[in-house]
Amino acid sequence: MEKIIKLRKGLDIKIEGVPDHSLNAPTVAYRKYAVKPVDFYGMQPKLSVAEGDRVLAGSPLFYDKKNSKITVSSPVSGVVTEIVYGERRVIREIRIEADEKIEYKSFEPLKPEDFTEENVKERLLEAGLWAYIRQRPYDIPANPDSRPRSIHISAFDTAPLAPDLDIVVHGQENFFQAGIDALKKLTDGKLYLGVHRTKTASNVYNECKNVEICVFDGVHPCGNVGIQIHHTQPINKGETVWYVHPQDVVIMGRLLLKGVYDATKIVSVGGSEALHTGYHKILAGLNVQYLLKDNLKESELEPRVVSGNVLTGTSIGVSGYLGAYDHGISVIPEGKRFRFMGWMTPGINLYSYSRTFFAWLFRQRRYRIDTNLNGGERAFVLTGQFEKVLPMDIYPMQLLKACLAEDIEKMEDLGIYEVSPEDFALCEYIDASKTEIQQIIRKGLELVRKEVD
């Protein structure tokens, strides 16, 4: 039995609406899709299409200005109906009306034994899948001209309401293995696959070859790839590692073996405001209206629809589109309401990691947590709280203060290269001072990237 990395720190937020294991096939033809360049943080998108253009599944929609080899492709065939711009002409969405029957742009299929670094790279780049390989530090799409120290894949997601990653790769073992074999060619180091001691049951992961399997045990954020990297081989200054989501590995494997960009993925729908939670087999970039039609509980306020998990995801509204790196949506109530004398009520309906509300009397319960900030912004006062939910050999408060002070040397000393905003999401969740902690880390990383790279 290999060594189990047991992480004691962390927190599983007891939020209502964990996706049940039902898998729903589409009953209507889904037509509205979009690719959102803003999802690809770190890219400078330049359009390759215009409104009215016809695209195939796998034709490029936009490329990165800094490295034009990196493109992002359309997941469906159809017509580009609209390009939505945001403030300062940021390209927000490229909307596509899909054909009834998807036509694929064809690429030359490869056999696993023929994989080389060159042809794998070339195939991923031309089919527009490269951007799904991301790098640490900085959390940006990987640079195809470099070789990473190692590649990391987390085979389980511990975030609240996150999809069960066993389900999303079910029956895809060939493609997953092919994707792994291909990624292995891209690094001189190891390819790590992090599995959970109890949660990961799928043989797709447990019997995967060509990887170094690391067994983890613990609560969120144990499933975050950043935490796993930290405990297998921490990132030092000057090193780069890559990471990929298992479902994207499957899509890459499919591309290499079949020669088409088939963006089919299984996404979860969860949250207290969804009538039926569960999994849906769809194509990437789908408009979530299809998933939420007749599936929302009635309420006065429109619920908040989050693409991704509730800690790190993006609010997209009930008619938004699934994000590029997201594999599920969560629907939670909007918290625009006043709570009378919140400081003295017993609070049996309020979930807190601390035992300051009497909700601790009910161990097994799950809570309908809304988006209320639950307080006003204050100075940092409490200490030792972040340490309870960050299973890393890092001093979170000191690192945050270094980021705020924009002291790069101190940030490096305290381990800025090993973290990313999502690792601090739980710190942000529990912070009684209601500070935007993920943003502080993001700004810190951004500063380091500008100054050091």
Partner 1 sequence: MLRNFLDRIKPQFEKDGKLHFLHSTFEAFESFLYVPDKVTVSGSHVRDALDMKRTMITVVVALLPCFLFGIYNTGYMHFAALGQTCEFWPAFWFGCTKVLPMLIVSYVVGLGIEFVFAQIRGHEVNEGFLVSGFLIPLICPPDVPLWMIAVATAFAVIIGKEVFGGTGMNIWNPALLARAFLFFAYPSQMSGDAVWVADAVSGPTALAAMSSHTGNLPTASELFWGFIPGSVGETSKFCILLGAAILLWSGIGSFRIMFSAVAGGVVMAWIGRLTGSTDATVMQHLLSGGFLFGAVFMATDPVTSAQTNCGKWIFGFLVGLMAVLIRIYNPAYQEGMMLAILLMNTFAPLIDYLVVNRNVNRRRKRLQAVRSQVENA
CB within 8 Å of 141: residues ≥ 6 apart: 40, 42, 43, 64, 70, 130, 131, 132, 133, 134, 135
Least distance CB 335 / partner 1 (angstroms): 5
With beta carbons less than 8 A apart as the criterion, state whether 200 and 154 touch.
no
In our burial notation (b when 16+ CB lie closer than 10 A, e otherwise), range 408-445 reads beebeebbbbbbbbbbbbbbbbbbeeebebbebbbebb
Per CB under 8 A, 350 contacts partner 1: yes
Best CA proximity match to 162, nearest among 89, 246, 50: 246
Least distance CB 13 / partner 1 (angstroms): 7
Structure tokens at 309: 């998990």
Per CB under 8 A, 22 contacts partner 1: no
Choose, by CB under 8 A, the member of 394, 419, 445, 448 that binds partner 1.
394
DSSP 49-107: --TT-EE-BT-EEEEESS-TT-EEE-SS-EEEEEEEE-GGG-EEEEEEEEPSS--B---
The one-character DSSP state at 291 is H
Per CB under 8 A, 313 contacts partner 1: yes
In terms of CB distance, is 112 or 347 closer to partner 1? Answer: 347
Can you tell me whether residue 330 is helix, strand or coil?
Answer: strand
Per CB under 8 A, 369 contacts partner 1: yes
Per CB under 8 A, 336 contacts partner 1: yes
The end-to-end CA distance of the chain, in Å, is 41
With beta carbons less than 8 A apart as the criterion, state whether 151 and 131 touch.
no
Least distance CB 33 / partner 1 (angstroms): 24
Q: How far apart are CA 236 and CA 139, in angstroms?
A: 15
Per CB under 8 A, 39 contacts partner 1: no
Structure tokens at 67: 């490295």
Q: How far apart are CA 160 and CA 310, in angstroms?
A: 7
Query: What is the footprint of partner 1 within residues 91-120 (CB under 8 A)?
Result: none
Per CB under 8 A, 413 contacts partner 1: yes
In terms of CB distance, is 22 or 356 closer to partner 1? Answer: 356
Please calculate the CA angle 237-241-245 and round it to the nearest 5 degrees: 145
* Site stretch for partner 1 (CB under 8 A), options 92-100, 167-175, 214-222, 395-403: 395-403
Torsion angles phi and psi, residue 291, rounded to 5: -80, -25
* Site stretch for partner 1 (CB under 8 A), options 71-79, 123-131, 194-202, 367-375: 367-375
Per CB under 8 A, 391 contacts partner 1: no
Per CB under 8 A, 407 contacts partner 1: no
With beta carbons less than 8 A apart as the criterion, state whether 208 and 114 touch.
no
Can you tell me whether residue 191 is helix, strand or coil?
Answer: strand
Per CB under 8 A, 264 contacts partner 1: no
Which ranges of 259-288 would DSSP assign to H, the alpha helix? none
Count the neighbouring beta carbons within 10 Å of the beta carbon of residue 105: 19
* Site stretch for partner 1 (CB under 8 A), options 73-81, 86-94, 163-171, 230-238: 230-238
Choose, by CB under 8 A, the member of 429, 444, 445, 448 that binds partner 1.
429
Least distance CB 394 / partner 1 (angstroms): 7
Choose, by CB under 8 A, the member of 137, 179, 415, 444 that binds partner 1.
415
Least distance CB 372 / partner 1 (angstroms): 6
Least distance CB 112 / partner 1 (angstroms): 30
Per CB under 8 A, 405 contacts partner 1: no
Q: How far apart are CA 266 and CA 283, in angstroms?
A: 8
Per CB under 8 A, 339 contacts partner 1: yes
Choose, by CB under 8 A, the member of 105, 351, 419, 445 that binds partner 1.
351
Per CB under 8 A, 229 contacts partner 1: no
Total of residues contacting partner 1 (CB under 8 A): 75
Per CB under 8 A, 148 contacts partner 1: no
Per CB under 8 A, 452 contacts partner 1: no
In terms of CB distance, is 50 or 344 closer to partner 1? Answer: 344
Choose, by CB under 8 A, the member of 104, 107, 290, 395 that binds partner 1.
395
Per CB under 8 A, 382 contacts partner 1: yes
Per CB under 8 A, 381 contacts partner 1: yes
Per CB under 8 A, 189 contacts partner 1: no
Best CA proximity match to 180, nearest among 198, 207, 147: 207
Per CB under 8 A, 353 contacts partner 1: yes
Per CB under 8 A, 192 contacts partner 1: no
Query: What is the footprint of partner 1 within residues 279-308 (CB under 8 A)?
Result: 304, 306
With beta carbons less than 8 A apart as the criterion, state whether 249 and 153 touch.
yes
Structure tokens at 134: 């991301």
Per CB under 8 A, 227 contacts partner 1: no
Per CB under 8 A, 15 contacts partner 1: yes
In terms of CB distance, is 119 or 433 closer to partner 1? Answer: 433
Q: How far apart are CA 171 and CA 189, in angstroms?
A: 28
